[in-house]
Structure 1
Amino acid sequence: MKSTKEYLRELTSIHAVSSREDPVIDYMNEYFSHYSNEIEIDVIGNLICHFPSGKLNARKVMVFGHMDEVGFIVRYIDEKGFLFIERIGGANINVLPGLKLDVVGEKGIVPGVVGTKAYHFLKPEEKGTFPPQDKLYIDIGVTSREEAEMKGVKAGCCVCFHADFLERENGWVTGKAMDNRVACAILLKLAEHLSKNKDKLNWDVYLVACVQEEFNIRGVLPAVRKIKPDVSIGLDVTPACDTPDLPNYSSVSLDNGPALTFLNYHGKGTLAGVLPDTRLVEALVKTCEDQMISYQREIAVGVITENAYIVFEEYGVAIANISIPTRYTHTPVETLSMKDVELTEKLLYHFIMGLDEGSQFGKKARISHSRKR
C-alpha cells in the first residue's frame, strides 16, 4: 500500500494530456484492482471502480476525478527543427518563455526548452511583455525538420510540462499536473478504505477516473450514462487565493481544508456551471462538522467542472463539488497542501459510510421530507 503522497508523486510524473491518458489509465487500473474486482474501462478511457453494497435496489453515489492534464500539441516543425505548438486545455502560456518542456515523441520523451529572445537584443518595448502563442517555439536541440522526425518528433505529438516534484517541510507539494492527479490519488486511497469496510455500505459506490476534462469537460458522460448515479461528487482543484496577486478575490487558501463549491462557472456568462444540490452540500457540511474537518466555501468564476453537465442527465442528478485549494494552477508549479488532501479523503469516506437507506437528495427528496412532517 502506498501513501497518498507516493501516489501523487508517481501520478504527476506521468505525461498524459487529454485523449492521451493511457499511462494513467494503466496506473489507476493496476492499483484499483488491488481493492475491487469490478473494474471497467469504456471506449474513450473512463475507468469505473465499483463497490456494491449488496442491498436490493441500492442508491448509487459516484465520486469522480479526471486523469488528463493541460499541455500542448506540435502544430508545425520548421526547416530548422523548431517546434510550434497549440494548447490542449488552458495551459498558462505566460510561464512558457525559457521553460523546460517534454515532447512525447514516437520514440520516447524528447526534452526541449521554449526559446526566448536574448535579453541583450530585446527592444525597450519588448521588455516585460509576453510573446503571443504563435511566436513561441520549442528548441529540442536539432538543426532540421528531418533530424526532429528521426527523434520521433512530428506534428501531432503532445508536449507536457517537465515533471519536478518538490516537497516542502510544511507538507506542501509542488509540481505539474496536480490538476487533477491529486483527485486520482484520493480515489485510490478511498478505494483502499472502502475495500476494508464494503460490508458496511448501504449505497453502491462508483469511483470514476475520467478523461478529457481539460479539453471538453464532458469526457465523463459515457460513464455517467452507464452508472446512472443518484449522487455525483466531483473532485478537482480550485485556485487558492492566498498569494499577493489574488487579494480579496476569495478566502480559499492552503491548509484550511477542502473547499465545498457553492458556485462555479466558466467565462463571463452562465451557460454552464455548478450550483450544488442544497441538501447534498448541507450533508457534506454536516459531515465536516461531525468529524471536526475544517472546510472552506468556494465561489469560483472562471472554473468549470463536469458536474455542470452531469446535473442534467436522465431525470437529473444531485451534484456537489469538493475542491483542493491549489496555487498557480495550469502551470508546472501547481502547489497544494497534503493536509487538505488528507482532510478531503476523510470527508469522502465518512460521508459515504454515513449514507443509509433514508438518505435522500435533490428537490424531490426535500418535498417528500416536508410532506412527512
Structure 2
Amino acid sequence: MKDLKTYIQELTELRGVSSQEDNIISYMAPIFEKYGQKVRVDTLGNLICSFHTGIPNSKRLLIFAHMDEIGFIVRKVEQNGFLRVERIGGVHINVLPGLKVDVQGVKGVLPGFIGTTSHHFTKAHEKGKVPTTEDLYIDIGATSKDHAHKLGIQVGCMITYHSDFTELPDNLLTNKAMDNRAACAVLLKLAEQIYQWVPKLNWDIYLIACVQEEFNIRGVLPAVRSISPEVSIGIDITPSFDTPDMVGYSDVILNNGPAITCMNFHGRGTLAGVLPDSKLLKTLFDIAEKNKIKIQREVALGVITENAFISFEEKGIATASLSIPARYTHTPIETISLRDVENTVSLLISFIIQLEKSTNFGRSQIIK
C-alpha cells in the first residue's frame, strides 16, 4: 500500500494523452484488482472497479476521474527533420516555446524541445508575441525526414510535456498531468478504504478511471450506460485563485480543501455545464461540516466535466462535482496541495459510508 503522495508522483510521471491511456490503466488496474470485487476495461479504455453489496436491486453510486492528459500529435515531419504538431486538448500555447517534451515514437520515447527563435535574432515586433499552433515545431535532433523516420517518428505519434515532479513547502506538489492524475490517486485511495467497508455498504460503488476527457469530455459515457447509476460524482481539478495574476474572480485557493461545485459552465464551443443535484449538494456540505473536513464552494466559468453529459443519460442521473484546486492549469507545472487531495478522499469515503438503502437523490420524490 502506497501513500497518496507516491500515487500522485508515479501517476503524473506516466505518459497518457487522450486515447493513449494504457500506461495509466496498467498502473491502476493491479491496485483496483487487489481491493475491488470486479475490475474490467471497456472497449474505449475506461477502467471500472466495482464493489457490490449483494443486496438485490441495490442503488449504484459512480465516482469517476479521467486518466488522460493534454498533449500534441505529429501532423507532419518536415524535410529537415523538425516536427509540426496539432494540440490534443487545451494546451496552454502561451507557455510552449522552449519547453522540453517527450515524443512517443514507434521505437520508444525520444526527448524533444519546442523550438523558439534565438534571442539575438528576435525582431522587436516579435517580442512578446504568442506563436500559433501552425508556428510551432519540435526539435528531436533529427537531421532529415528520413532520419526522423529511422528514429521511429511518424505522423500520428503522440507528445506530452516532460515530467518533472517537484515538492514545494506547505505540502505543495508540482508536475505535468496533475489534471487529472491527482484525482486518479483519489480513486486508488478510495478503493483501499471501500474494501474495508464492503460488509456494511448499502449501495453498490463503481470507481471509473475514464478516458478522453481532455479531447471530447464524453469518453466515460459508454461505462456510465453499462452501469446506469442513480448518482454520479466527478473529481477533477479547478483553477486556484491565489497567485498574483488570478486574485479576484473566486475565493478558491490551495490548502483550503476541495471545492464543491455549485455551477460550472463552458460556452466556448461546448455549450454545457453542471448544475448539481441540490439534495446531493446539501448532503456533501453537511458531511463536510459534521466531519470537520475543509471544503470550498465553487462557481466556475470555462470549466466543464463529464457530468455535464452524464446528468442527461437515460432516466436522468443526480450529479455532483468535486474540484481539486490547482495553479497553472494545463501547463507542465500544475501545482496542487496534498492536503486538498487528502480532504477529497475523506469527504468521499464519509459520503459513501453514510448511504442508507432508503437514501434518495434527485427530484422525483417531490410528488409521491
CA distance in 1, matches of 2:234, 2:309: 12
Gap runs ≥5 in structure 2: none
Aligned: 1:332 with 2:332: yes
Paired residue type of 1:344: T
1:311 alignment partner AA: S
- The alignment status of 1:21 with 2:47, answered yes or no, reads no
Kindly indicate whether the alpha-carbon contact (under 8 Å) linking 1:263 and 1:275 is maintained by their aligned counterparts in 2: yes
Q: Distance in 1 between matches of 2:185 and 2:355?
A: 23
Aligned to 1:230: 230
SS at match of 2:34: coil
After TM superposition, give the deviation of residue 122 of structure 1 in Å. 1.1
Decide whether the 8 Å contact of 2:66 with 2:213 is kept in 1.
Answer: yes
User: What is the aligned partner in structure 2 of residue 371 from structure 1?
Assistant: none
* Stretches of structure 1 lacking an aligned partner (at least 5 in a row): 369-373
Match of 1:216 in 2: 216
Match for residue 74 of structure 1? 74
- Aligned-partner SS, 2:256: coil
Is residue 197 from structure 1 mapped to residue 197 from structure 2 by the alignment?
A: yes
Secondary structure of 1:10 counterpart: helix
Matched position secondary structure for 1:84: strand
In structure 2, the partner of 1:6 is: 6
Distance 1:138 1:318 in 2: 44
Separation of aligned partners in 2, 1:58 and 1:363:
19
Write the letter of the residue equivalent to 2:8: L
Mapping of residues 41-80 of structure 1, within 5 Å: 41-80=41-80
* Equivalence for 2:184: 184
Map of 1:139 onto structure 2: 139
Deviation per residue, 1:67-122 (Å, 9 max, x gap): 00000000111111000110000011111101100101111110001111111111
- Judge conservation of contact 1:311–1:319 (CA < 8 Å) in 2: yes
Does residue 127 of structure 2 align to residue 116 of structure 1? no
**Cα distance change, pair 366–5 in 1 and its aligned pair in 2 (3 A):** farther
Structural mapping, 1:27-46, within 5 Å:
27-46=27-46
Structure-2 change in CA distance of 1:285 and 1:367 (3 Å): farther
TM-superposition CA deviations, 1:334-371 (whole Å, max 9, x none): 00000000000000000000000121100113444xxx
Provide the C-alpha distance between the structure 1 equivalents of 2:253 and 2:93, rounded to a whole number of angstroms. 24
Deviates more, 1:261-270 or 1:285-294: 261-270
What is the alpha-carbon distance in structure 2 between the residues aligned to residue 90 and residue 300 of structure 1?
16
Distance 1:290 1:256 in 2: 17
Identity %: 55
Q: Distance in 1 between matches of 2:73 and 2:153?
A: 11
The offset of 1:269, in angstroms, is 7.8
Which amino acid is 2:310 matched to? I
**RMSD of aligned residue pairs (Cα, Å):** 1.0
Q: Give matches, 1:360-371, under 5 Å.
A: 360-368=360-368
Query: Does the 8 Å contact 1:38/1:50 carry over to 2?
Result: yes
The code of the aligned residue for 2:26 comes to: D
CA contact (8 A) 2:260 2:297 kept: yes
Equivalent position amino acid for 1:239 in 2:
P
Is contact 1:35-1:191 (8 Å) kept? yes
Runs of 4+ residues deviating >6 angstroms = none
Match of 2:85 in 1: 85
Q: Aligned partners of 1:67, 1:268: CA distance in 2, in Å?
A: 23
* Deviations, residues 151-171 of structure 1 (Å, cap 9, x unaligned): 111110000000010011311
Cα shift at 1:128: 1.3
Q: How does 1:343-358 map to 2 (within 5 A)?
A: 343-358=343-358
What do the CA deviations read for 1:179-198 (whole angstroms, capped 9, x no partner)? 00111100000000010111
| Cα shift at 1:249 | 0.8
Check conservation: 2:112, 2:139, Cα contact below 8 A: yes
Counting only pairs closer than 5 Å after superposition, residues 306-345 of structure 1 correspond to structure 2 as: 306-345=306-345
- Aligned-partner residue type, residue 292 of structure 2: M
| Equivalent pair of 2:37/2:52 in contact (CA under 8 Å) | no
Task: Report the 3-state secondary structure (helix = DSSP H, G, I; strand = E; otherwise coil) of the residue aligned with 1:49.
Answer: strand
Contact kept in structure 2, 1:279 and 1:366, CA below 8 Å: no
Relative to structure 1, the CA distance from residue 313 to residue 325 in structure 2 (aligned partners, 3 Å threshold; closer, same or farther) is: same
Q: Is the 8 A contact 1:263 1:299 kept in 2?
A: yes
Shift of 1:284: 0.4
Q: Does 1:267 align with 2:246?
A: no
Question: How much does 1:271 deviate?
Answer: 2.3
Query: Any conservation in 2 of the 1:36–1:49 contact (CA below 8 Å)?
Result: yes
Give the deviation of 1:287 after TM superposition.
Answer: 0.6
